[in-house]
Chain A
Amino acid sequence: MECGWRPKNISVEISKLNSLRNSIFVVISLFFIAGELNASNKGLMNQAPTKEDTLISLKGEYLAYSYDFNQIYGENVEFKFSSYSATCRHIKIDITPKIFYAYGDVILKKGDEKFEGDEFLFNPQAKKGTLISYREKIEVKEMENVGKGIPSQKNEVPKELTLAKIQKSLIYFVGQTFDITADFGVYGYNVTLFVEGLESVKFKKFKLSSGIGQRRNGISLNRIWYTKSQGLIGRVSYYYEKEKKVNSLTQLNYEERSVLKNYSGPRRQADVMSSTTVNIKNDLNLSLTGNYNTSSLWNTLLWLNKDWSKKFITQINFSYNKPINLKGEAWFGFQSILNTGKFGNISLSSKYELKNQMLANFSYRNTFLKKVNFLLSSSYSQIKIGESADYSKIFSGGVDLSYSSRIFNVSTDYFLNYDLFGDQLLSQPQLRLGVNPFRFYGGLISASIYNIFIYNNLKRGGIEEDSYSNNTVLTLSTHPISLQEGFSLNYNISLEQFVEKEGRNFTSGGFIFNLNKSILKGFSLEGFYSFRSRRKTKGWLIEGTTSQDLSAVLKINPTEKFNGWISFSFDPKNSQWRQSFADISLGIIRYWKLHSLIQYDFLLRKINNVDLYLIREAGRFQLRFIWRSLSRQFLIELVPR
């Protein structure tokens, strides 16, 4: 039975609870259950790892394991390394990056053989280690596989692992015997649990961390659950793996809804999903996936991949898809990718369906003279139109050529779409020309110009239509100009002219001013003013719109523990304040912080929403107590990070 627990996004919604105390009980209860499920990963209660499962066993005068950070600190520790018995004054283990570091009077013994050093960096999985002594020289001795050990002097020491950090964890355990398993799970014996630094209960044996998830061959009952909306839910999976040969996973999801009151849909539903990959050779593999749903929907895909070389890959496949209430479709496909290096990349794919449907794609991409990019693509599709005997036949193709230099960039496209069924041909050449931003006035002002011209030609049943459009955009912006100490200004101006054959031309322009003023240490005010006007011209008629926006942000950052911002927006056209938002974070004690999001509406003269968070940062996860005023909800969340 697979019940291993790792931090998942657990959210508990508690509405109308009598007091916060009840909710805290729920969290602690959930934690214990989760922990116990953890302990029961290999059996029902606290089954210790077997000798074969144990990667390293630590015995020390003092050992501490932080659940938050997945780290171990130990004093006066004994352990086994390869065929050596080892002792040291201190040990630091960072489980996630798999760093093992022993230091202070390190002694390795095997029979009469004895090695002494000051530091020992080791990898118990690979049975390699480096023993370092600081004498008249730095002496480095590679243990086992000489010359292949972890290189010394490469900052392999766990950088941020101290006892003080472990003791500040939300959850940590203290004991004298810890086992680390081959999958980097951690077991503790006679361990004391500390919650927020307070000593609590003691466990005889406890699985402190579930380690890296490893599936085992066989059937697993993953989940049996009941919800008011879905009824009784069951999830079973079958996994089979033969190393480097076969990998197969089949999952069954079952929902029994007949137990629900007033449920009008199907009384039960089952889904089966299966995926199998067989590696026939290193460069040849066969895969099969299949999905089946009791609502008469199923599909399957079989494909064979062959890597002829690193640059040439081909795949042939067969798929069958049966949608709900529609006839199934069987497709045969072929795909090939060829990377010829300096001669470019070629990609080719095609699919044929038994009812004479087909899809084909071809593309060629290359870069010439380092700066000229070329792309040629074409596709053909022949798809049945509904249940009729007619087919939609579309051919499309395109050529793209672009060049970019330090000063300007130019790109030209030609796109062709030929609808053979509707007898319609669209050709669309484009020309894009841009000047890269350039600076003048000693780099104070930067300017850029961009132009795009599009021409369309449409031929439909002997009628030919053509149209064109041109759009030019000019922008000017400044670097922040310092007016006095702690006071700066920068602005951005843009102008756009759009012209088209039909005469729906328009001109638009605008500017943005941005002011920054430092008020006190850690407090600064930022103001924005934007003005934009869009004028449409057609013959003698000029019409348009104008918009203005004024906003200010007060940034607060006086200390690491206190920071946030408050924004205000103002409508200058109607001389009216609109809205205000505040996002404030305040560190309280240890790793606890209070965070609030507030929105105030000046028009309605009321606070629209308040979200209050009490957050505990705990390394691998975050514990959050949340109050949302809008939905009147109190939530407790356990969020993995």
Chain B
Amino acid sequence: MKRYFVISILVISLFFVWNCISFKGSYLLPSENKVESIHLCKKVDDSGDLIKPLDIRLEFTSKDDHVICLIRLKDIATKIDLRWKWYSPDKKLVRDTGNIIVSRGDRYLAAATAYDMFQLSPENIVEGQWTVVIFMNDKFIGKKLFQVFPSSSKLEIYHLI
């Protein structure tokens, strides 16, 4: 009885889908997605083949020396340039790395990591929301927003936690 029930359901299913199903077709592949992750962190671990982010965060204080923006790419077979642009809370460009060659495209890389370090030196510290934007081959591929707090208020936050 159960077998007939299963067969009936399959037959009904096929009846419904008869007009709209086919079993052949070209296989579409994403062509341009190379970005696996973008992280903001305080430190990196560069002991292995690939650099790993340590102490990932989106909030920094004016006591922090620097902010690191690390990107992980995958399936790289072509020439790749990366460029980081850092913007202050008043939306002004404060650092532009220019194009940095990550891969010359002469060999296939299953994964690659690269980072840029932005110095939070006292003279350019502006509290508020900062933006870092990454371009690959002059095309926008991602951005990260982060907050810079005055060191005293950040300490209060830690104390509450």
| CB-based contact A33/B33 at 8 Å | no
The residues of A that contact B161 with a CB separation of less than 8 Å are: none
The residues of B that contact A175 with a CB separation of less than 8 Å are: 28
Smallest beta-carbon distance B104→chain A, Å:
23
A192 at the interface (CB under 8 A from B): yes
- Which stretch from A129-137, A142-150, A366-374, A411-419 is at the chain B interface? A129-137
Contact of A25 among B6, B21, B33, B133 (CB under 8 A): B6
| CB-based contact A176/B28 at 8 Å | yes
A25/B16 contact (C-beta < 8 A), A62-B28, A134-B87, A192-B25 known: no
The residues of A that contact B19 with a CB separation of less than 8 Å are: 45-46, 204
- Which stretch from A195-203, A218-226, A521-529 is at the chain B interface? A195-203
The residues of B that contact A89 with a CB separation of less than 8 Å are: 32, 139
How far apart sit A157 and B144, CA to CA, in the bound complex (Å)? 10
B36 at the interface (CB under 8 A from A): yes
A202/B21 contact (C-beta < 8 A), A32-B13, A75-B33, A138-B131 known: yes
Which of under 10, 10 to 19, 20 to 34, or 35 or more describes the interface residues of A?
Answer: 35 or more
A190 at the interface (CB under 8 A from B): yes
How far apart sit A538 and B75, CA to CA, in the bound complex (Å)? 84
By DSSP majority rule, is chain A's interface helix, strand, loop, or mixed? strand
Q: How many residues of B contact A (CB 8 A)?
A: 38
| CB-based contact B28/A26 at 8 Å | no
* Residue of B32, B129, B142 with most partner-chain A CB within 10 A: B32
| CB-based contact A118/B28 at 8 Å | no
The residues of B that contact A233 with a CB separation of less than 8 Å are: none
Smallest beta-carbon distance B28→chain A, Å:
5
B109 at the interface (CB under 8 A from A): no
A492 at the interface (CB under 8 A from B): no
Return the chain A residue nearest B91 by Cβ: A138
A33/B16 contact (C-beta < 8 A), A89-B139, A105-B139 known: yes
Smallest beta-carbon distance A560→chain B, Å:
16
Contact of A164 among B6, B9, B36, B91 (CB under 8 A): B36
B93 at the interface (CB under 8 A from A): yes
| CB-based contact A62/B29 at 8 Å | yes
A231 at the interface (CB under 8 A from B): no
A201/B23 contact (C-beta < 8 A), A33-B9, A75-B31 known: yes
A183 at the interface (CB under 8 A from B): no
* Residue of A29, A155, A206 with most partner-chain B CB within 10 A: A29
A104 at the interface (CB under 8 A from B): yes
| CB-based contact B10/A39 at 8 Å | no
How far apart sit A230 and B142, CA to CA, in the bound complex (Å)? 58
| CB-based contact A103/B140 at 8 Å | yes
The residues of B that contact A17 with a CB separation of less than 8 Å are: 2
* Residue of B28, B87, B142 with most partner-chain A CB within 10 A: B28
Contact of B25 among A32, A90, A104, A202 (CB under 8 A): A202
How far apart sit A163 and B28, CA to CA, in the bound complex (Å)? 13
7 closest cross-chain pairs (CB), A and B: A118-B140, A138-B91, A36-B16, A202-B25, A29-B9, A32-B13, A29-B13
Listed by A's residue number, 26 A-B pairs whose Cβ atoms lie within 8 Å are A22-B2, A26-B6, A29-B6, A29-B12, A30-B9, A33-B13, A36-B17, A46-B20, A61-B31, A62-B30, A64-B30, A76-B32, A104-B140, A134-B85, A134-B143, A136-B92, A137-B87, A153-B129, A163-B30, A176-B28, A190-B25, A192-B28, A202-B21, A202-B25, A203-B21, A205-B20
Interface residue ranges, B against A (CB under 8 Å): 2-3, 6, 9-10, 12-13, 16-17, 19-25, 27-33, 36, 85, 87, 91-93, 129, 131, 133, 139-143, 145
Interface residue ranges, A against B (CB under 8 Å): 14, 16-17, 22, 25-26, 29-30, 32-33, 36, 39, 45-46, 61-62, 64, 75-76, 89-90, 103-105, 118-119, 134-138, 153, 155, 157, 163-164, 174-176, 190, 192, 199, 201-206
